[in-house]
Copies of this chain bind each other. A is one copy, B any other.
Amino acid sequence: MKKHFDVGIIGGGIIGQSIAYHLAKEGVSVLVLESHKIGTGATSAAAGMLGANSELENNDAFFQFAKESQRSYHILRDELSELSNINIQLVDNGMYKLAMTETEAESLKAVVKKHETVEWHPKEVVLEREPTLSSLIKGALYIPEDGHVSPTHVCAAFSKSASLLGATILEHTPVHSITKTATNEYELSTPVTDFICNHVVVANGVWSGYFFKQLGINAGMKPVKGECLSVKSNEINLERTIFYDHCYIVPKGDGRFVIGATMVEDDWNIVPTIGGIQSLIDKIKPIMPSISSAQLIDTWAGLRPQSDDGRPYIGQHPEGEKIYFATGHYRNGILLAPRTGMMVRDLILNKQQNEDYMNAFSLTRKHAQTMR
């Protein structure tokens, strides 16, 4: 006999687990099917920056969505710790987006006018607060709201909490196909067994593209590999995350500094290469010379799922099937996980939705905006 669930979620990364958690809290019977182990894909590869301001440039629906998600981490920290006794390692010290040239400085100063929460800090202020940085910097944009979490801790906390609230979470269980049954339910076919669900959520990152194709959805999805490394050094002390030219240095609460990330398009191989590591070191050295004497702790890589316009796909199947998508979060999966979980929960439970978000993340939207 096949097992039956109300909602079957394909993908046990931070997005899938956030959805599972938010649904389980409402008493929904949830199944999560993960092909490998929980949180070991793009989730574990991320540095955990909550860069709503630093990553997004326009004050649009996407930005609002990101800010809401960022804020909800403060509530989740306590909620998840209460339930699962796992600490998501939220750090709230803000971020410096550096200018290394006068042109960059001008461009960052212009941002201050648009966003009231950010400030321009001249070189002297930045160096006094972060003396580890190079004296060649020209100043920095200070973004007090852009903190960071530990992605694996968040994912584990969502997962354990969902599980304690009744969700079934199966690792090593890849889904090969979604097929509709005679009774208008969905069968999720796996090597282990088959599962019957009333609703299905596709949330397995770049591998979601396979189900787009299987379900006849015409939406782009490709991997952008990101390589990272972590270092340790008593000579480096950073209070805030540092961001420059798509690279970042995130000071972790265990004394490590996470440095990332390369962007290699259309590479499906999840190993960090010597070339990738070299390029990161070359980029970080001018902004923080003492990196040279730091100890290399670890290197890793992950595949960011990239849609055609760099924004996520969050929404229902265009033809009204009870199949939902939550993927394509690109560089912002950790940031957007909480709000994405809530949005999918509301879609499934037929609660009222923010129309702007539904349009912005629809699978059939026009991709007017160019890729970031």
Interfacial residues, chain A to chain B (CB-CB below 8 A): 35-36, 81, 84-87, 89, 91, 93, 153, 156-157, 159-160, 163-164, 169-174, 176-177, 189-192, 206-207, 209-210, 213-214, 231, 234, 237-239, 251, 253-255, 268-275, 277-278, 281-282, 291-296, 299
Contact = CB atoms under 8 A, between A and B. Distances in A.
29 contacts: A36-B36, A81-B253, A84-B237, A85-B253, A86-B255, A87-B89, A87-B253, A153-B253, A156-B255, A157-B255, A160-B255, A163-B234, A164-B237, A169-B234, A171-B269, A172-B269, A172-B270, A190-B210, A191-B206, A191-B207, A231-B274, A273-B292, A273-B294, A274-B281, A274-B294, A275-B293, A277-B281, A278-B281, A296-B299
Nearest to A303: B172
B274 A192 contact: no
A214 B190 CA distance: 11
B164 A86 contact: no
Contacts of A36: 36
Contacts of A86: 253-255
A70 B151 CA distance: 31
Of listed A157, A189, A268, A299, residue having the most chain B CB within 10 A: A268
A186 B331 CA distance: 36
A237 B160 contact: yes
How many copies of this chain sit in the oligomeric assembly? Answer: 4
Contacts of A231: 274
A231 B234 CA distance: 27
Contacts of A296: 272-274, 277, 299
A87 B89 CA distance: 9
Given A160-B237, A171-B269, A85 B210 contact: no
Nearest to A275: B292
Contacts of A268: 170, 172-173, 192
A310 B117 CA distance: 56
Contacts of A239: 85
A159 B234 CA distance: 8
Contacts of A293: 273-275
Contacts of A174: 35, 174, 207
A130 to B, nearest CB: 11
Query: Which 8 residue pairs across A and B have the least CB separation, nearest first?
Result: A275-B292, A87-B253, A191-B210, A271-B295, A191-B207, A156-B255, A176-B176, A163-B234
Contacts of A237: 84-85, 160, 164
A170 B234 CA distance: 11
Given A189-B213, A192-B268, 12 more contacts: A85-B239, A85-B251, A87-B253, A87-B254, A156-B255, A163-B234, A191-B210, A274-B293, A275-B293, A278-B278, A278-B281, A296-B299
